[in-house]
């Protein structure tokens, strides 16, 4: 197999969750189609890889193994608060996406890299940990709780980046949500990621100032390219 070590980045700006989800599904299907074609061909072609960068209007999403009781407000009351709600096919529990957050959706053919979902998640966490370090913050992993945390082994542990992925035939969907200038009050309506007793935070809250999202995005892309050993292309 010819391994494609290039990842095409698509900047989506502010986009409703449903539209971004459909775009993910389209790219996912494209990669699956190439892989099927390659199995029947004596001249296989490299399968593509994508990374979508997006910001969503306020939305709660529930993973396939998540508990609806972790939504602390009635679904019919969400509309009045301007919040959408979706049950998704990713892993993980409930989380929030909204303005001031950097959301990344890598749609990768892991046959181009390594066929190990746990390693994939650890690599995504490492991208965020290194990004936070660029801003003077020390991120950490929590065993059994995918994502990136600050002050993990203290009573003040708080999550700054949530993660939830789906993979089928070694093709990934969904990804990470890093709080930059996010309005954290939205998290009061949920049990974030289904984890009781731990808070959430953002770069702005930790640094006590608004942070330029472009700088954060640049850092994420730099570390993504280094850790996954890929070339980012437009």
Residue 189 counted as domain residue: yes
Q: How far apart are CA 152 and CA 35, in angstroms?
A: 40
Main-chain dihedrals φ then ψ at residue 194, nearest 5 degrees: 75, 15
pTM: 0.95
In this structure, the strands spanning 50-55 and 59-62 are unpaired
Indicate which residues carry an active-site annotation. Answer: 193
Which CATH number covers residue 64?
3.30.930.10
159 domain residue, yes or no = yes
pLDDT (tens digit per residue) in 17-42 = 999 999 999 999 999 999 999 988 88
For residue 204, is it within any domain?
yes
Mean pLDDT of 198-203: 92
The per-residue pLDDT for range 141-160, each reduced to its tens digit, is 998 889 999 999 898 999 99
Question: Does 110 map to a domain?
Answer: yes
Q: Report yes or no on 1 lying in a domain.
A: no
Question: CA torsion 229→50→129→193, rounded to 10°?
Answer: -150
Task: Count other C-beta atoms under 10 Å from residue 147's C-beta.
Answer: 25
Q: Number of structural domains, the chain?
A: 1
CB 97: neighbour CB atoms within 10 A? 22
Q: What is the pLDDT of residue 15?
A: 98
- Asked if the model's pLDDT at residue 1 lies above 70, the reply is no
- Assigned domain for 39 exists: yes
Range of the domain at 20: 6-229
> Does residue 94 lie within any of the structural domains?
yes
For residues 1 and 227, what is the distance between their CA atoms, to the nearest angstrom?
22
| 150 HSE (CA, 13 A, CB side) | 22
């Amino acid at each position: 197999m010819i391994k494609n070590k290039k990842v095409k980045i698509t900047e989506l700006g502010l986009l409703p969750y449903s539209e971004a989800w459909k775009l993910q599904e389209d790219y996912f299907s494209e990669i699956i189609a190439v892989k099927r074609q390659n199995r029947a061909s004596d001249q296989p072609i490299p399968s593509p890889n994508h990374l979508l960068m997006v910001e969503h209007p306020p939305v709660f999403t529930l993973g396939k193994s998540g508990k609806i009781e972790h939504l602390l407000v009635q679904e019919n009351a969400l509309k009045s608060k301007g919040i959408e709600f979706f049950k998704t096919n990713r892993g993980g529990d409930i989380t929030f996406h909204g303005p001031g957050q950097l959301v990344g959706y890598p749609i990768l053919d892991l046959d181009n890299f390594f066929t190990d979902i746990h390693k994939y998640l650890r690599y995504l966490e490492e991208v965020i940990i290194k990004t936070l370090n660029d801003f003077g913050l020390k991120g950490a992993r929590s065993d059994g709780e995918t994502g990136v945390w600050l002050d993990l082994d203290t009573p003040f542990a708080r999550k700054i980046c949530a993660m939830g992925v789906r993979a089928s035939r070694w093709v990934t969907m969904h990804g990470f949500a890093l709080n930059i200038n996010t309005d954290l009050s939205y998290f009061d309506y949920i049990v974030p990621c289904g984890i009781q007793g731990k808070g959430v935070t953002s770069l702005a809250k930790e640094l006590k100032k608004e942070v330029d999202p472009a700088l954060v995005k640049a850092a994420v892309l730099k570390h993504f390219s280094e850790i996954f050993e890929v070339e980012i292309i437009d």
